[in-house]
């Protein structure tokens, strides 16, 4: 339906009539210089006697109505639409240290590195987070905010996919990543503050001990879910033939478990792409979403239509006025020449 943002401005519609009826009459001043020119006398007579036509008055009234209507800001209000908002703030802390280059995750029979597997799973996870505010922390030897908490999930996904191995250093600063996540979450209202930390190693860098950082998280009401990624067994070709190795021998599962349990979270082990996908699906069940239904009515501004019409009418009046002046000038000039010949 149509509506006006400022309907009280319609009170200005009768303003020209009030000016016409109640404004004091303007006294014409006689010219101080007498110039007995026939042309000037003719122009003065024409200007004194000329009155705007009814058509001109109609156009002026229509232009005024359009201007007032545009000032009242008409809008088209659409049908009510229900939107869902959640009160969950979630930071994703992703390890991009050198060890994440280990190719022990299989997809369709092809080995990919751990970071590629994380990107593949997180892309789908992020797409399902509509209504949540997500942020992204990347860490290696240093931890830094790649994306602050935002509803713009498309940008967050793009920046995750652009993350490169070793960009933050070759080592792993788990404690710094937790501390940075807590710093970002603790200033928010106490409702579903969640940090999901994914790594394939142990804390080898940084200024904060992971367990001390977990203690700070617990005090700030931040729940941490930790994910240890990496296969338990990998067959590699050696000098004496194929041999089996454990590519996740550096994974500190004990510390990751303590971090999660001390904050009310949980530790998960992702040995392959399927387990990693299941973990992120399970997080939806573990973290209940506080849903708030709101109804909005979309609005489309229409003020430019009456404003444009008023401008067109003004342009038409200008053209008509110019034509009237030209015709009047030609008439006076012709009459003057005729009298000169007489």
Residues 117, 265, single domain; the answer is yes
Q: Give the chain's length.
A: 342
Residues 220, 314, single domain; the answer is no
Residues 167, 310, single domain; the answer is no
Residues 190, 144, single domain; the answer is yes
Residues 316, 205, single domain; the answer is no
Asked whether residue 323 is assigned to any structural domain, the reply reads yes
Residues 174, 197, single domain; the answer is yes
Residues 253, 135, single domain; the answer is yes
Using CB atoms within 10 A of its CB, is residue 268 exposed (0-12), middle (13-18) or buried (19+)?
buried
Asked whether residue 342 is assigned to any structural domain, the reply reads no
pLDDT of 34 reads 44
Give the total number of structural domains in the chain. Answer: 2
233 closest CA partner among 102, 95, 98: 102
Residues 309, 214, single domain; the answer is no
Asked whether residue 39 is assigned to any structural domain, the reply reads no
* Sign (positive or negative) of CA dihedral 153, 157, 163, 165: positive
Residues 123, 220, single domain; the answer is yes
Are residues 260 and 224 in contact, defined by beta-carbon separation less than 8 angstroms? yes
| Beta strand residue intervals within 78-192, DSSP E | 81-86, 89-95, 105-107, 110-112, 133-139, 143-150
Mean pLDDT of successive 10-residue stretches along the chain, which has 342 residues = 83 83 60 44 47 76 88 82 66 90 78 86 82 88 91 90 88 93 82 85 89 92 89 64 67 91 90 80 64 66 87 82 60 61 56
Asked whether residue 110 is assigned to any structural domain, the reply reads yes
Residues 318, 220, single domain; the answer is no
Using CB atoms within 10 A of its CB, is residue 65 exposed (0-12), middle (13-18) or buried (19+)?
middle
Residues 215, 306, single domain; the answer is no
pLDDT of 103 reads 83
Residues 181, 319, single domain; the answer is no
Q: What is the span of the domain harbouring residue 316?
A: 301-331
Tell me the CATH number at 101.
3.40.50.410
């Amino acid at each position: 339906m149509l509506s006006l943002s400022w309907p009280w401005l319609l009170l200005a519609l009768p303003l020209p009539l009030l000016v016409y009826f109640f404004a004091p009459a303007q006294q014409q001043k006689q010219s101080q210089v007498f110039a007995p020119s026939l042309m000037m006398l003719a122009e003065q007579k024409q200007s004194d006697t000329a009155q705007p036509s009814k058509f001109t008055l109609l156009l002026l009234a229509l232009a005024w109505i359009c201007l007032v209507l545009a000032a009242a800001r008409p809008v088209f209000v659409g049908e009510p639409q229900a939107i869902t908002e959640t009160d969950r703030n979630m930071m994703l802390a992703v390890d991009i240290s050198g060890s994440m280059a280990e190719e022990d995750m299989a997809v369709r029979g092809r080995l990919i590195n751990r970071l590629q597997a994380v990107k593949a799973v997180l892309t789908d996870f992020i797409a399902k987070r509509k209504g949540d505010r997500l942020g992204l922390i990347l860490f290696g030897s240093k931890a830094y905010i790649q994306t602050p908490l935002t509803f713009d999930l498309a940008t967050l996904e793009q920046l995750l996919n652009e993350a490169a191995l070793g960009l933050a250093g070759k080592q792993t600063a788990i404690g710094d990543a937790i501390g940075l996540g807590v710093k970002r979450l603790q200033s928010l209202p106490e409702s579903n503050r969640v940090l999901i930390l994914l790594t394939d190693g142990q804390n080898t860098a940084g200024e904060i001990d992971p367990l001390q950082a977990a203690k700070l998280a617990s005090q700030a009401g931040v729940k941490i879910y930790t994910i240890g990624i990496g296969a338990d067994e990998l067959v590699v070709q050696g000098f004496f033939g194929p041999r089996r190795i454990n590519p996740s021998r550096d994974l500190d599962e004990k510390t990751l478990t303590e971090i999660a349990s001390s904050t009310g979270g949980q530790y998960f082990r992702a040995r392959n792409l399927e387990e990693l996908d299941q973990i992120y699906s399970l997080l939806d069940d573990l973290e209940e979403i506080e849903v708030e239904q709101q109804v909005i009515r979309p609005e489309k501004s229409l003020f430019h239509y009456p404003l444009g019409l008023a401008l067109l009418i003004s342009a038409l009046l200008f053209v008509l006025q110019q034509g009237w002046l030209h015709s009047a000038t030609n008439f006076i000039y012709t009459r003057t020449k005729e009298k000169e010949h007489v």
